[in-house]
Amino acid sequence: MKKRKIIKVLSGIFIAIVLILGGSYYMSYRAATERNDRLIQQGFKLLEEQIATYIKENYSGVSKIEFSPIFVDGGDGFSMFTANVVPRIYDNYGNSVVLGTSGPLNSGLDFGTASDLRLSLGNDGEEIIEISNYNQDYLDVSNYESLPDFAKINIHSFLDEDILDSIQQGYIKNIQKDEIGSSDVKVIYNLKIQEGSFREWP
C-alpha cells in the first residue's frame, strides 16, 4: 500500500514537471513566433508603402492599388525562407493587372525578401529592417512606423517596365508615367501573413 502511494506521488510529480516544461516551451515558442510575425509585418508595411507611393507619384490614371497577403514559404530545412507580396493596380475603367512574376506577363519581378527587403534580429533581439533604394543600397528603417522620406524611391526600372508592358498588352488603359501622378488613388494594404507561394494569389 505504501509502495503504491509513493508511485502515485512520483507519477504526480513527473506529470507536473512535464506540464511545466511543456508550458514553458510553448510560451517561448509563441513569443518567438509573435516577434517574427511582428518583424515581417512591419517590414512589409514599409515595403508596401514604398511601392504604393512610387506608383501614386509617378503614374496618372491609377484608381486603386491592392496588395496580396504576405506569403511566407520555405525555411523548413529543405528550402530557403522567402516572404513576398503581390501588388495589383486598377485603371479608371475597372481593368486590373497583377504585377511581377505572378502576373500575366511573368516578368520575373518579385516584391519581398529576395531583393527588396532585409529582415533580421540583432544580438540583443532588436528588430532590424532594411529596405532597398534600387540603387544598390539598403536603408535602415528599423525605427520607423511609416515610410520615411529618405526611403522613397525616384526610380524603379523593373516596375516601370512591368507597368508599361501591361499597358501595351491592353491589360490596363489610359495609365501613363508622368509627374501628375494619381493623388486620389485608393490603396489597400495587406499585412496578413499566409503560408504558401505568392504565385497562388489571384
Q: How many domains does the chain have?
A: 1
Say which residue the cell 492599388 belongs to. 65
Taking residue 24's Cβ as centre, other Cβ atoms within 10 Å add up to 10
Round to whole Å and give the CA distance between 102 and 73: 15
Task: Compute CA 48 distance to the chain's CA centroid, rounded to the nearest angstrom.
Answer: 8
In a domain, 70, yes or no: yes
In a domain, 12, yes or no: no
Cell triple for 101: 512574376
When pLDDT is cut at 50, 70 and 90, the band that residue 75 belongs to is: low
In a domain, 95, yes or no: yes
Whether 62 shows a pLDDT value over 90: the answer reads: yes
In sequence order, the 6+-apart residues with CB closer than 8 A to the CB of 113 are: 81, 82, 83, 84, 119
CB 134 within 8 A of CB 123: no
* 138: β partners: 132
| E strand or H helix that includes residue 72 | strand 70-73
Whether 80 shows a pLDDT value over 70: the answer reads: no
Q: What is the mean pLDDT of the chain?
A: 86
Taking residue 40's Cβ as centre, other Cβ atoms within 10 Å add up to 21
In a domain, 181, yes or no: yes
Segment 44-61 shows an average pLDDT of 97
Cell triple for 54: 512610387
Q: Print the domain residue range for 127.
A: 42-197
Segment 117-134 shows an average pLDDT of 91
In a domain, 160, yes or no: yes
In a domain, 175, yes or no: yes
Cα 4 to Cα 7, 8, 11, 13, 56, distances in angstroms: 5, 6, 10, 14, 76
In a domain, 5, yes or no: no
In a domain, 19, yes or no: no
Dihedral, CA of residue 9, residue 24, residue 72 and residue 121, to nearest 10: -150
- pTM value is 0.83
